[in-house]
């Protein structure tokens, strides 16, 4: 058991050491819509998305092309890491309210 805890900690430390500073972008969910609905980000680079839910109900940021899903509780902010992305357009939506949609343009 000590061995597997050590392996887990070691992998975590390696991961921390290899983490690099990433550009940060913000998205707000308000009135059951994403703002902004279009976000331009650099291609070929990992980005950090700060998702703020200003509504009174929980939302779930989801994107099949970005391979991400993350619940954003009401009134809270969460962080989602995506990429590095190829140049192109990546759609995302609110899984709890699929009419709320937006896209990320990597360029």
Partner 1 sequence: MWRSAMAWAVIALVNTPAYADLQVRVPQVDYLELEFEHNGLVTFDSKGSPNHNAQNYTNSVGYGVTPWWGVELEGEMEAGGGQHLLWSATTMENTFQITQPGQYFFNLGFFVEYSQSTLRGEPSSFTAGPIVQKELNNVLGLDTLHTLNLFLSRDVGHNATKQTGFEYAWQSLVLTHPLISPGVEFYGFIPDLAHAGPTSSQQHWVGPVLAGDVNFAPYGKLGYQVGYLWGLTPDSGRSAIRWRLEYEVTF
Site string for partner 1, 54-83 (x = CB under 8 A): ----x-x-x-x--xxxxx------xxxxxx
Number of residues in contact with partner 1, rule: CB under 8 A?
A: 37
Residue 26 binds partner 1 (CB under 8 A): no
Examine residue 11 and tell whether it contacts partner 1 (CB under 8 A).
yes
* Shortest distance, position 78 Cβ to partner 1, whole Å: 8
Q: Using CA atoms, how far apart are residues 89 and 81, in angstroms rounded to an integer?
A: 17
CA–CA dist 95, 97 (Å, integer):
5
Say how many Å lie between the first and final Cα of the chain, rounded.
Answer: 46
């Amino acid at each position: 058991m000590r061995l597997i805890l050590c392996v887990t900690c070691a992998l975590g430390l390696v991961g921390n050491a290899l983490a690099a500073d990433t550009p940060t972008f913000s998205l707000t969910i308000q009135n059951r819509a994403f703002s902004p609905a279009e976000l331009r980000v650099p291609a070929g680079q990992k980005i950090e998305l700060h998702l703020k839910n200003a509504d009174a109900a929980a939302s779930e940021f989801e994107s099949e092309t970005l391979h991400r899903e993350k619940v954003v509780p009401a009134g809270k902010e969460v962080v989602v890491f995506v990429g590095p992305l190829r140049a192109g357009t990546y759609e995302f939506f609110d899984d709890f309210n699929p009419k709320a949609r937006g896209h990320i343009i990597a360029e």
